[in-house]
Copies of this chain bind each other. A is one copy, B any other.
Amino acid sequence: MINSSYKRFFTTLGNENRLQIIHLLAKKGPQSVSQIVNGTKLEQSAVSHNLKRLLLCQFVHLKPNGKERVYSINKETIKPLLTLMDKHVREFCQKTCKKCERGDLWITQQQ
């Protein structure tokens, strides 16, 4: 069933740490693992594990640079995806989500 691919994609996105990583990469551009560790305050191994899942789904790209490994988001997919979610929150979830009333949505503002 094709559903299982979608399941993998959505559960990969449905995790705060991975969203935090995506957020960081969206905001700061390509980052090495240790930069992500600094930027997110997550453990190094947690970062690596989560990056691996993001990479498997191709939500991030990887470019080794010496002993560093530099990750960047797959803008083509991730940007419209989060824009769509922002739109959804704005249109449908205004009663339940206080944050969106303040207008501090997630990615729409940036760049």
Contacts and interface: CB of A to CB of B under 8 A. Distances in A.
Interface of A: 1-16, 19-20, 23, 56-58, 74, 76-77, 80-82, 84-85, 87-89, 91-93, 96-97, 99-100, 104-106
List the number of copies, as a whole number. Answer: 2
Nearest to A23: B3
Nearest to A82: B6
A97 B11 contact: no
Contacts of A11: 10-11, 14-15
Contact of A14 (B13, B56, B93): B13
Query: Is chain A's binding surface mostly helix, strand, loop or mixed?
Result: helix
A76 B91 contact: yes
Nearest to A57: B93
B4 A16 contact: yes
A71 to B, nearest CB: 15
26 contacts: A1-B16, A2-B104, A2-B105, A2-B106, A3-B16, A3-B19, A3-B106, A4-B16, A6-B19, A6-B85, A7-B15, A8-B14, A9-B14, A9-B85, A10-B11, A11-B15, A13-B14, A14-B14, A56-B96, A58-B92, A58-B93, A76-B91, A77-B87, A77-B88, A77-B92, A81-B81
